[in-house]
Amino acid sequence: MTGKIKLWSFADVDRSGKVRWTACELGYEIEEIKVNLGEHASDPYRQMNPYEQIPTAELDGKILIESTAICLSLAERHPEAALIPSDQAVRDHFWQSINLSASSLEIPAVQYYLSRAGFMDETWTGLLEGPLGKRINVFASDLPDTGYICGDFTLADICAAYVLRLGVQAKLLPFEGKLETYMRRLMARPASRAARIFDSLEV
């Protein structure tokens, strides 16, 4: 056992899935605390995470926020797992993919998904559909025919998988061809199954 992480989450479909998957890849024991909708905006949760966002994690006695940052903190503690590539040429592509997933695509994808599901104003659907649909399809078209984004499996694949799953569920991406082949490689990983990140994907 590598260690233990405490994780506050809403459900399997939220950003906590990225943290669960990363922790499972590294062999962490996960203590998960489910937060009911609304509890994230009140004490004592707000004392841990004043931004009132999910997930929050406790690792090595420290409170960490922001799902991608938590994943990176886990990966950096275990360089032997190579979830962050060491080769500089590969790292350039790694950081580009991480930022495309977590910044350019994830925020609008979550907003679009929540808007379609009725949790946000439906106006967001119309505002985001065009630009998000174009960008997420470009991202999907750049996926490798074999293997993973950086050759070997890395954190870039975990971050990409979250966005791509949202894209499929929100009907922005067809689950076919290269995208399906790539995602099924990820779905076959024992850690992704343990993290339940694809359980809501009906394919």
Q: How many C-beta atoms surround the C-beta of residue 46 within 10 A?
A: 13
User: Cα separation of 60 and 46, whole Å?
Assistant: 20
pLDDT tens per residue across span 165-194: 999 999 999 999 999 999 999 999 999 999
pLDDT value of position 121: 87
Confidence (pLDDT) at 168: 95
Residues 6+ apart with CB under 8 A from 40: 10, 46, 49, 52, 53, 54
Q: Does domain 88-193 have CATH number 1.20.120.50?
A: no
Please write the tens of the pLDDT for every residue from 68-100: 999 999 999 999 999 999 999 899 999 999 999
CA distance 34 to 90: 37
3-state secondary structure of 101: helix
pTM of full prediction above 0.85: yes
Using one digit for the tens of pLDDT, what is the confidence trace for 16-53?
A: 999 999 999 999 999 999 999 888 999 899 999 999 99
Domain definitions of the chain by residue range? 4-81, 88-193
**Which superfamily does CATH assign the domain made up of 4-81 to?**
Glutaredoxin (3.40.30.10)
